[in-house]
Structure 1
Amino acid sequence: MKKGNKRKKGIFFRRNKISILFFTILFLYLSVTIVGQERSMRDLQHEQRELQEIVDNLKKEKSEKEKMVEESSKPEFIEKTAREKLKMVKPNEIIYIIQDRE
């Protein structure tokens, strides 16, 4: 019986060489494709995280800029800026400048 089994196995492989070759190639192709797609997905997820960080930073910066614009329209800010940068004074106001002796 052992010889019969060997003959049957041998006959099976001889008759189905093309089918076995086809399925082996198909399996290898699918394996390579799946591995490549996994890599691509990992890269895209990494890129997505980086872009999300950029978006979050830009949103934070935008809110800070909006706050600055809101602050700059207040009369106190306008007065402070006029005094510091433009050296403007109120009517009847005297400014004393103290110089260091160094």
Structure 2
Amino acid sequence: MAKVYHLDRKKPNRKIRVRHILLVVLALYIGYTLVYQHIAIRQARSDEAVVREQIRKLEEENERIRAQIEMMQSDQYIEKLAREKLGLIKPGEVMFVDVNRNGGNSGN
């Protein structure tokens, strides 16, 4: 009778298989986390750029308003408003009124 040799086939070690699966899962988790963090950082940088632009515009508007306030507090501006809006004049001045300009009837 012929001899039959059995080759010892190694059965996959269950511990090694579990370890490989855990390593793959861990690698996938780390990869996902890195990609997610990269996306979050890019979004934050984009948001930061938008906010910086808004701040720049607000600072410009703030400066414009400060200049306007300073101008409105000047004596020349107050005098101009008093003359134009209230019709005030300085002592000794004579005011001339154009009756045709302010809705006067010219007969046309």
- Name the TM-score class by shorter chain: 0.7 to 0.9
The aligned residue for residue 95 of structure 1 is 95
Unaligned runs of 5+ in 1: 1-6
Which has the larger share of helix?
1
SS at match of 1:88: coil
The aligned residue for residue 68 of structure 1 is 68
Identity over aligned residues, as a percent?
Answer: 25
Bigger Cα Rg = 2
The aligned residue for residue 59 of structure 1 is 59
Aligned length: 92
Q: TM-score, normalised by structure 1?
A: 0.78
Q: Distance in 1 between matches of 2:63 and 2:48?
A: 22
The aligned residue for residue 3 of structure 1 is none
Q: 1:79 aligned to 2:79? A: yes
Q: 1:22 aligned to 2:22? A: yes
The aligned residue for residue 4 of structure 1 is none
CA RMSD, aligned part only? 1.9
Where does structure 1 differ by over 6 angstroms across 4 or more consecutive aligned residues?
A: none
Q: Distance in 2 between matches of 1:87 and 1:50?
A: 48
1:33-59 per-position Cα deviation (integer Å, ceiling 9, x unaligned): 111111111111111011111111111
Unaligned runs of 5+ in 2: 1-8
SS at match of 1:95: coil
Q: Distance in 2 between matches of 1:85 and 1:46?
A: 49
The structural deviation recorded for 1:68 is 1.3
